[in-house]
Amino acid sequence: MSITPYRSVLANQAARRVLLLGILLRIPIFGTGVLLMLHVVEQLGRSWGEAGLVSAVVTLAIAVSGPWRGRLLDRHGLRKVVLPSILINGSCWAVAPFVGYWPLLILAGVAGLFVVPIFSIARQSVIAAVPMHERRTALSVDGVGVELAYMSGPAVAVWAGSQWGTAPTLFVLQMLGVLGGIVLWILDPRLREETAGAGEVIDVPRSAWFRPAFIGLCLAAAASTLVLVGSEVSVVAGLREWGQSGSLGLVFAGWGIGSIVGGLVYGALSRGLSPYLLLSGLALVTLPMALADSAVTVAALALLAGLLCAPTITASVEAVSRVVPAVARGEAMGWHGSCMTAGSAMAAPLAGLVIDSRGHQSAIVLVCLAGLLIACVGAASVLVVRRRRSQVALAA
């Protein structure tokens, strides 16, 4: 694997700044979820069900905010969107860790609606900062950054919460996120390529790009997180059933390392792959985890499955950037991110129901087959559209 593409991307100061900020701003987002649940249970003395309700409200709020705030990015630019996030998140989280359950629920939900849309901003800025031929590599680096934040955020948050308490840790974690938002506001990275009408507001009707090709990519994004989160929940249940819950870190480390390696390899390829092909591959390589009977076996299979995690997501983001006009990319990335959130939100209860009735192996099989089905339908629709275009071209 050649590192030359990565050398070029990381030498780009604008791209390097956004990639680093992306990691720093995502760590509080990933770390808050599990820490918030622990806070509700340990600090407030509530049940896990009530903790899950807070988590669900925050997840739903973030999912709703994606397309809405992405559209605001397209129309008003980064600074006018990030400033309310800084003020509202700072105000909410300055109070939320130190109040009772119901005020916490409301404040966390409001903060979720106004979270800094870092996923949309980071991807748009990375795309705008590099030439077309480096886009895949830059998005792969961003995907690796997401993986690093996903792996480190919860671990650091839980460790800090156990040392200094969940309330102070929540406060510090969110204030670091606010600080990152301030730095982002100051830097104000460009969100569009120079040739894409940067600096002027161009209103593109949603009907011009919200079409089957884009919808299919959003469904593929949702399916990818359905497979990932559904299999994660199932593996946790399996380890608990085998009395090997202590090996959970080993399994997730295998998944994360595999995803980072896969993302780096994919970013160095001279040509990208279809997100539907990668989604089907992700489902197929995850499926053997249903046959595992020990933590060591699951960890080895997780390493294999992880190789296609980051590439699948990167390919879908890259495809969205190609089918959507640059001036509407903020809203499109918001929809894409919300679909990924929706897929992960559906995965946990769906897998849980199957685990309760048929066991964790059946849950893995179900989410993998669902992902494979969506990948096949998406790939078939692409072939149909290409055939129709060929026929129209020949007729003309």
The answer to whether the beta carbons of residues 313 and 221 sit under 8 Å apart is: yes
Please give the pLDDT value at position 1: 60
Q: Is residue 202 part of a domain?
A: no
Q: Is residue 376 part of a domain?
A: yes
Same domain, 295 and 235: yes
235: which 2 tokens? 């593996």
346: which 2 tokens? 């559906």
Q: What span, in angstroms and rounded, lies between the C-alpha atoms of 246 and 280?
A: 31
What's 167's domain CATH number?
Answer: 1.20.1250.20
Same domain, 185 and 218: no
Amino acid, single-letter form, for residue 195: T
Q: Is residue 199 part of a domain?
A: no
Report CA torsion sign: 262, 268, 273, 276: positive
Please give the pLDDT value at position 86: 96
Residue 381: C-alpha distances to residues 272, 371, 384 (Å): 19, 15, 5
Side-chain-side CA neighbours of 73 within 13 Å: the count stands at 35
Same domain, 225 and 294: yes
The answer to whether the beta carbons of residues 286 and 231 sit under 8 Å apart is: yes
Q: Is residue 200 part of a domain?
A: no
368: which 2 tokens? 């993998």
Please give the residue range of the domain that contains residue 54. Answer: 1-193
Domain boundary among 193, 218, 240: 193
Same domain, 285 and 344: yes
364: which 2 tokens? 């893995």
Q: What span, in angstroms and rounded, lies between the C-alpha atoms of 108 and 127?
A: 31
Q: Quick one: DSSP state of residue 159?
A: H
The answer to whether the beta carbons of residues 275 and 249 sit under 8 Å apart is: no
Number of H helices, E strands in the chain: 15, 0
CA-angle at 39, arms to 34 and 44, nearest 5°: 150
Side-chain-side CA neighbours of 170 within 13 Å: the count stands at 26
Same domain, 142 and 230: no
Q: What span, in angstroms and rounded, lies between the C-alpha atoms of 249 and 242?
A: 15
Same domain, 168 and 284: no
Write out the chain's pLDDT in tens, 396 residues. 667 778 889 899 989 999 998 888 888 888 887 788 889 988 999 887 788 788 888 888 988 898 989 999 988 899 999 999 999 999 999 999 999 999 999 999 999 999 998 888 998 999 999 998 889 999 999 988 888 887 788 778 888 888 899 999 999 999 999 999 999 999 999 988 765 444 455 678 888 899 888 999 999 999 999 999 889 888 888 888 888 877 777 888 888 899 999 999 999 888 889 999 999 999 999 999 999 988 899 999 999 999 999 999 999 999 998 999 988 998 999 999 889 888 887 887 888 888 888 888 999 999 999 999 999 998 888 887 777 777 666 666
Domain boundary among 193, 226, 254: 193
Same domain, 158 and 217: no
Domain count, the chain: 2
181: which 2 tokens? 């938002």
Write the burial class of residue 256 (CB in 10 Å: 0-12 exposed, 13-18 middle, 19+ buried): buried
Domain boundary among 170, 193, 216: 193
| Of 160, 81, 134, the residue nearest 318 (C-alpha) | 134
* Cβ neighbour number for residue 285 with a 10 Å cutoff: 18
Please give the pLDDT value at position 196: 47
Q: What span, in angstroms and rounded, lies between the C-alpha atoms of 241 and 361?
A: 11
